[in-house]
A = this chain, B = another copy of it.
Amino acid sequence: MPTLKQLGEREVIRRLARLLPSRRDVRAGIGHDVAVVAGGAAFDWLLKSDAVLEGRHFRADTPARWIGHKAVGRVLSDLAAAGGEPCWALVDLVAPARTAVARVEGVYRGLAALARQHGLAIVGGDTTEGPVLELHVFAVGRAPRGTALLRSGARPGDRLYVTGALGGSRAGRHLRFAPRVAEGQWLRAGRWATAAIDLSDGLATDLGHLVEMSRVGAELFADQIPIARTVLQAPGNPRRKGTRRRPGAALAHALCDGEDFELLFAVPARRAASFEAAWLNKFRLAATCIGALTRRTGRIELVDARGRRTPLRGRGFEHFV
């Protein structure tokens, strides 16, 4: 009788998903950043839930506002990957009875501030006593019918882009990130992207999801991957002045650390130049071409500056393991 730990999160989800009922109006379900359901003539609805728990996603001494920011930011990041417009959310709070009211109010101020910034109303939820502080945010977004970006839809030859810079989560960006809501909606509205995902489990793992759901392969240009300044400046990291050069250490963070909350998306090669021009015209945030999709289904290769190829086996964060 195996435990959740012995089976691992992916296999647990695969087993549970088989048990669950669906409906004909479900356009995308388990396996995507958001579920997409048909809700009428004009819009599809995007549904997403995500949890943050003390000891796992934040610590007992994490400032209250950033806990709330992260809780809402995580689901906004998923809505962003689908190109969705945030609409309404419910928040389930679990907390020990001894928790100071001021701390919980601080958490709610943090989540309210980010929700307000993105037009997301908090319309309800549940409060329950439990062993540790945790928040579950359930968000509903929308996109014009049939236009939501999914993990599937990318094609061989498409260029792979990533927003911002990667690997900064350990330096605090896992709390203080800006979900790429405007960017995702722009990608969807302009029909620039064929597929998209937000980077929550690490580039290596999340690219694996995109490649699997799109039934393609990928090559990543190692020297093109944008690395967060905090990673480059960390002691012992390669590009830091006065430290011994250890090639690959910073890159490993950028590939494998979770919770970057940037967008990874595919753009058809023939539109890459016009996409880059339009993006530059619209956003100050960088969008960097870091690779391309291939016909070698399920295979991800890292290509270095000299053209040497290494199969990517690195994995990002997985629960229960």
Contact = CB atoms under 8 A, between A and B. Distances in A.
- Per DSSP, chain A at the interface is mixed
Interface residues of A, number: 80
A280 B56 CA distance: 53
Nearest to A74: B126
B130 A56 contact: yes
A63 interface: no
Given A131-B132, A140-B140, A101 B35 contact: no
A51 B136 CA distance: 10
Given A101-B12, A140-B140, A319 B128 contact: yes
Interface string A176-214: 000000000000000000000000000000000000000
B124 A87 contact: no
Interface stretch (A36-44, A158-166, A217-225): A36-44
A19 B109 contact: yes
A19 B320 contact: no
Interface stretch (A113-121, A252-260, A265-273, A297-305): A113-121
A100 B101 CA distance: 35
A16 B49 CA distance: 20
A26 interface: yes
Given A88-B26, A90-B35, A138-B90, A4 B95 contact: yes
Contacts of A93: 16
Given A88-B35, A123-B26, A19 B105 contact: yes
A21 interface: yes
Interface of A: 1-7, 9, 12-13, 15-16, 19-23, 25-26, 29-30, 32, 34-35, 37, 39-43, 45, 47-51, 53, 56, 87-88, 90-102, 104-105, 108-109, 112, 115-116, 119-132, 134, 136, 138, 140, 319-320
